[in-house]
Amino acid sequence: MPELPEVEVSRLGISPYLEGQFIEKVIVREKRLRWPVPETITNLVEQPVLSVTRRAKYLLISLPQGDIVLHLGMSGKLCVVDACTPTIKHDHIDFVLRSGKCLRFNDPRRFGSCLWQENGQQLSLMANLGPEPLTDDFDSNRLFTLSRNKRSAVKTFIMDNQVVVGVGNIYANEALFLSGIDPRRQAGKVSKQRYQTLTDNIKRVLAAAIAQGGTTLKDFAHADGKPGYFSQHLRVYGRQGEPCEVCETTIKSQVIGQRNTFFCPQCQR
């Protein structure tokens, strides 16, 4: 599933082609996504795109009356192509622009979504989201305060979207490793000082991933679409059985909260 850096790179990739343009036509070939595509979407004609923003893993294409809310799900991708470009399998939605380009949404597994949010309203699925991790609203005081008396694993805690949005499995593993914190440790037993270190490293790994993904932005103007999981250096994620880069202890794996978790039993405590 695309995580926050991949979604942010998607936003950066499509924004230059959408902002300031008018939507001339919306073609919905398949309405049966994670939730049915609302009829309102097909009626968004002659609408200017004011901005393209991101909230958690949702992309918001802002129009005068509201927002098109896109989620890539597990296999969704976005690309900008000439409107006359032949479609391929799983091309479900086209947003045709006055420029002659179109934003095309492809999703083989159909776990993605395309919804509508009117001005002054908020979709229920976005109502209880925590702060963005790369803003000042996310800090160690928040983590420490919310973690008190929590018996859940610290990895599960930081992946809770009500605590902070967008810290997905890959980046939770990496930030905990850099912080020297065992992902199995109870959240309520992590000190404030260690939460400061963890907060800094969450911001660090996400910012680095976004920067690395920036090298792939040109791919959005091709028919094969988004860069997906762009190449980046991972210290523990997916490295079960390999030696730790710091101490050469074998990296271990364990399921925590139904997600594969990778850690160094020597460096993390």
Q: What is the CATH number of the domain that holds 206?
A: 1.10.8.50
pLDDT at 232: 76
Pair 155, 95 in one domain: no
Name the band, by pLDDT with cuts 50, 70 and 90, for residue 60: very high
Tell me which of 69, 102, 126 is where a domain ends: 126
Pair 242, 159 in one domain: yes
Average pLDDT of every residue of the chain: 93
Pair 68, 167 in one domain: no
Pair 157, 74 in one domain: no
Q: Is residue 198 part of a domain?
A: yes
Q: Is residue 135 part of a domain?
A: no
Q: Is residue 168 part of a domain?
A: yes
Pair 118, 204 in one domain: no
Pair 183, 87 in one domain: no
Domain count along the chain: 2
Pair 121, 146 in one domain: no
Q: Is residue 131 part of a domain?
A: no
Which residues does the annotation mark as catalytic? Answer: 2-3, 57, 259
Query: HSE (CB half, 13 Å, CA atoms) of 223?
Result: 10
pLDDT at 221: 54
Pair 80, 186 in one domain: no
* pLDDT over 90 at 91, yes or no: yes
Q: Is residue 132 part of a domain?
A: no
pLDDT, tens digit, 9 for 90 and up, residues 183-240 = 999 999 999 999 999 999 999 999 999 988 865 566 555 545 555 556 678 999 999 9
203 marked as part of a ligand binding site: no
Name the band, by pLDDT with cuts 50, 70 and 90, for residue 75: confident
Tell me which of 126, 149, 177 is where a domain ends: 126
Let me know: does 155 contact 79? Beta carbons within 8 Å: no
Domain that holds residue 27: 4-126
233 marked as part of a ligand binding site: no
pLDDT at 223: 46
Pair 173, 247 in one domain: yes
Which CATH number does the domain housing residue 35 bear? 3.20.190.10
Pair 162, 202 in one domain: yes
Q: Is residue 133 part of a domain?
A: no
Let me know: does 102 contact 94? Beta carbons within 8 Å: yes
Pair 203, 109 in one domain: no
Q: Is residue 42 part of a domain?
A: yes
Q: Is residue 167 part of a domain?
A: yes
Pair 99, 209 in one domain: no
109 marked as part of a ligand binding site: yes
pLDDT, tens digit, 9 for 90 and up, residues 122-158 = 999 999 999 999 999 999 999 999 999 999 999 999 9
